[in-house]
Amino acid sequence: MSPTSLLLFLCVSFYGTAAIAPGVQAEEGCTTQRCGNLTVSAPLGLIVEGSEENKCGLQMGFQVRCTDDVPYLGYYEREYRLRILGIFYGNFSLLVSDPINTASKLGQPFSIISPLNQNLIFYNCTKAPPPEEDRAGLVDTVCRNNTFVRAGERYYNDGVGGYELEGCNSTAVPVLGKSGRVNASDYLELIRNGFLLTWQPPPQQQQPGPQPTD
Ligand SMILES: *[C@@H]1O[C@H](CO)[C@@H](O)[C@H](O)[C@H]1NC(C)=O
Ligand SMILES: *[C@@H]1O[C@H](CO)[C@@H](O)[C@H](O)[C@H]1NC(C)=O
Ligand SMILES: *[C@@H]1O[C@H](CO)[C@@H](O)[C@H](O)[C@H]1NC(C)=O
Ligand SMILES: *[C@@H]1O[C@H](CO)[C@@H](O)[C@H](O)[C@H]1NC(C)=O
Ligand SMILES: *[C@@H]1O[C@H](CO)[C@@H](O)[C@H](O)[C@H]1NC(C)=O
Ligand SMILES: *[C@@H]1O[C@H](CO)[C@@H](O)[C@H](O)[C@H]1NC(C)=O
């Protein structure tokens, strides 16, 4: 399922249209910079809007774009953007929100395989699934008839492994599950709250970076 269709499917839109931020400072070099209330420092680096060039340790996809004081991971094409909610330099991870399910597009240097991420599985069905054990845990979505969501298990990849339903298209979305299994009824909030991405610390970077700022 394409990201766009997932967006329609979920009937959610978290962010309005964003104009290019005039306030981003075009500083050069590897200084620590701010975007909104986030501190962006190595290995991540802020990209100046309108420029694809960047100076700091950004070769590996650690670009951050700042739009209206909202930081986005700039690794992907512009229409597929992950909003950064938090950066944890100490344990090499990011909390990101993904309104159009771009997770399956993720690649190096990021991974979403963290034990703290769980799966939400969305279904678009031609008819209601039979009311047997198949329906266990299915929650109706607000979107349209015969669309459902349920909690899966730990997120491993974008597959729905074992949770397919006959007559339905399904797609998996990672969410942060702090303890136990998430409650699929909370799917809107869960998606908004984002999920964790981790990056591989480069071998030369043995010292943890600055402490998390939030
Ligand atoms: C990294 O640390 C932050 C802040 O303590 C925490 O919220 C997050 O879950 C941690 N990330 C991982 C992958 O454990
Ligand atoms: C869901 O399925 C219906 C038909 O069953 C189809 O019209 C619609 O486009 C599908 N939506 C998505 C997001 O796949
Ligand atoms: C959804 O289902 C209800 C009850 O079965 C029905 O009245 C309604 O027309 C359906 N809506 C759509 C868009 O199919
Ligand atoms: C969606 O599901 C229908 C059957 O319900 C199937 O024929 C179709 O190929 C599926 N589409 C995708 C994109 O998986
Ligand atoms: C999930 O949340 C819904 C609504 O808040 C609640 O009715 C339901 O009991 C919860 N399910 C579980 C398993 O906690
Ligand atoms: C950062 O700003 C956003 C909205 O601008 C707010 O929701 C969030 O709580 C803030 N985080 C911190 C740590 O201040």
* Residue 86: pLDDT band with limits 50, 70, 90: very high
Other C-beta atoms within 10 Å of 88: how many?
17
At residue 12's C-alpha, the angle toward residues 145 and 23, to 5°, is 170
Q: How many Cα atoms within 13 Å fall on the side-chain side of residue 171?
A: 17
CA distance 198 to 101: 17
Q: Which residues contact 149 (CB under 8 A, 6 or more apart)?
A: 120, 121, 122, 123, 138, 139, 141, 184, 187
Instruction: For residue 15, give the amino acid letter.
Output: Y
Residues forming a β-bridge with 88:
93
Instruction: For residue 61, give the amino acid letter.
Output: G
pLDDT > 90: percent of the chain: 17
CB of 167 sitting under 6 A from ligand 4 = yes
Token pair recorded at residue 104: 């399956």
With a cut of 80, say whether residue 129 has pLDDT above it: no
Per-residue pLDDT tens for 130-160? 776 557 788 988 888 889 999 887 777 667 7
> Rounded to the nearest whole angstrom, what is the distance from the C-alpha of residue 9 to the centroid of ligand 2?
8
> Rounded to the nearest whole angstrom, what is the distance from the C-alpha of residue 145 to the centroid of ligand 3?
6
Q: Which residues of 161-196 are buried (b: 16+ CB within 10 A; e: fewer)?
A: eebebeebbbbbbbbbbeeeebebebbeebbbebbb
Among the bound ligands, name the one nearest to the CA of residue 126: 2
Per-residue pLDDT tens for 10-42? 443 333 223 333 333 333 456 788 999 999 888
Alpha helix stretches (DSSP H) within 70-206: 187-193
Ligand 6, atom 2, residue with closest C-alpha: 37
**Ligand 6 site: residues with CB under 6 angstroms?**
36-37, 214
* Domain limits, the chain: 3-199
With a cut of 70, say whether residue 197 has pLDDT above it: yes
> Rounded to the nearest whole angstrom, what is the distance from the C-alpha of residue 9 to the centroid of ligand 5?
22
Other C-beta atoms within 10 Å of 39: how many?
18
Q: What is the DSSP letter of 70?
A: E
* pLDDT at residue 209, rounded to an integer: 55
